[in-house]
Amino acid sequence: MNVLLIGPPGSGKGTQGERLARRLGLEHIAAGDLLRAEVAAGTPLGRQVSQIMRSGELVPDVVIIALVMPKVLAAADAHGYLLDGFPRTVAQAQEARALAERVGASPDAVFYLDVPREELMRRILARAAVEGRADDNAQTVATRLAVFEEATRPLVDYYRSRGLLHVVDANRDEDTVTAALIDVLDRV
């Protein structure tokens, strides 16, 4: 099984991704974690994307696709994947679909984690206090949410038109959200 989690920053993609992947025996691939690992390692790619991430803007398509898709294709070939934080644009989704279809690695389900903006802000700023992520400050959060609305929200219609989208109310406790996701997957 191959699953995508999309949603705004702070919607719980990472948390639910870890929980679902563990429960379903899937490889959890978190695009943001891959990028942060590159930055932490000081790689040429990490240096290239560090400033972009701090500003809250999207990493260029060619960069994120080159980083994420090899892991997706390998996981799909092995035992399936749960991918969170990618794609972030319709163009990325189209490119990823073309690559995935060639090897039978297309997603079986796409979940949109729906959370009100005020709750997203609260969650992200609370996370900043705990995790100290450079991209979790008030100014960057506002930029990230605006970028999400402009660049990523169109993915909802893109995946809905393909019959893959499932909208889940993620403004609930973690266990309830996980149960809702599992309930949908049991019917896919």
Q: Annotated catalytic sites, by residue?
A: 13, 88, 127, 133, 144
In this structure, the number of other CB atoms found within 10 A of the CB of residue 61 comes to: 16
What does the radius of gyration of the chain's CA atoms come to, in whole angstroms? 16
The two structure tokens encoding residue 177? 């959200």
Question: By three-state DSSP, how is residue 168 classified?
Answer: strand
Contact 99, 20 (CB under 8 A): no
Dihedral sign of CA atoms 46, 98, 24, 123 in order: positive
Cα 16 to Cα 23, 62, 91, 130, 152: the distances in Å are: 10, 27, 25, 18, 19
Q: How many residues appear in the chain? A: 188
Q: 26-36 b/e with 16+ CB inside 10 Å = b?
A: bbbbbbbebbb
